[in-house]
Homo-oligomer: A and B are copies of this chain.
Amino acid sequence: MKEKESLCDAPIGVFDSGVGGLTVAREIMRQLPNERIVYFGDTARVPYGSKSPETITRFSKQIARFLRTQDVKAIVIACNSASACALDALEEETEIPIIDVVRPGARTAIEATHNGKIGVIATEATIKSGLYKRYIEENDKCVSVVGKACPLFVPLVEEGLWEDPVTDEIARRYLVELIDIDIDTLILGCTHYPLIRSTVGRIMGEKVALVNPAYETARELKRLLEKEGMASAKKPELGTEMYRFFVSDAADKFREFANSIIPYGILSAKTVNIEDY
């Protein structure tokens, strides 16, 4: 009994290549206000989206090992590139539940589409993995999926050009082929993209539903914790730190960006030498 209680009190581990996964953490904070979070952003090796599956998997394993040292009860891979490349490997070496962002996003898109034409925009690594396409088409034979890598979106978001003619122009170039084939549902398949949601929405037009996997990922996590009897039933006691943030580099810069995304105020971020794990 005691053990079960302390398991419920344990935090959720959430990780990303950098700051993008904070959009997922934010959604977990909203939907699961009793849960503590330990967030890790791999800011020393960001970005993942342009790197190979082998490297992304090696990095993700190191992070999962670090999160285990923080006694997390579940791990959320809040990075599409890591979800697409490293999920199987992580599930193999970790006994606690692992939630990725790709499968929840894919399921929402299947529910949302009417004409059976879904688009996915994401990093090169996520698109190359083909995981969204495979997972959706396996689950619904009547749906077809077209993916488009948008490598400039992450640097544009990190430069703060969320509403800017340059971002408009680049988005138009990336999205034209998805408009041409008349998709009615578009997955924002990179955790940075919700931050330029309004630009993407304006270009795609009102008839296209935008799917943000962060929302569905948090719901999935909630379902899982309840099913396994691992959910925290109450707010942690006064004095317990709800949210802890770790990065592999430049904690100050992380904190600054994070505070523009997370409404709760990030008191501190600690630096970890992730290569040691």
Contacts and interface: CB of A to CB of B under 8 A. Distances in A.
Number of copies of this kind of chain in the complex: 2
Main secondary structure of the interface of A (DSSP, over half): loop
Given A45-B45, A166-B170, A55 B155 contact: no
Chain A interface size band reads 20 to 34
A46 B51 CA distance: 9
A52 interface: yes
B152 A250 contact: no
Contacts of A158: 50, 151
A249 interface: yes
A250 B51 contact: yes
A156 interface: yes
Contact of A51 (B151, B159, B169, B249): B249
A43 interface: yes
Contacts of A226: none
A44 interface: yes
B169 A55 contact: no
Nearest to A18: B50
14 contacts: A44-B51, A46-B50, A51-B249, A51-B250, A52-B250, A55-B248, A55-B249, A55-B250, A151-B158, A152-B155, A155-B155, A165-B169, A166-B166, A166-B170
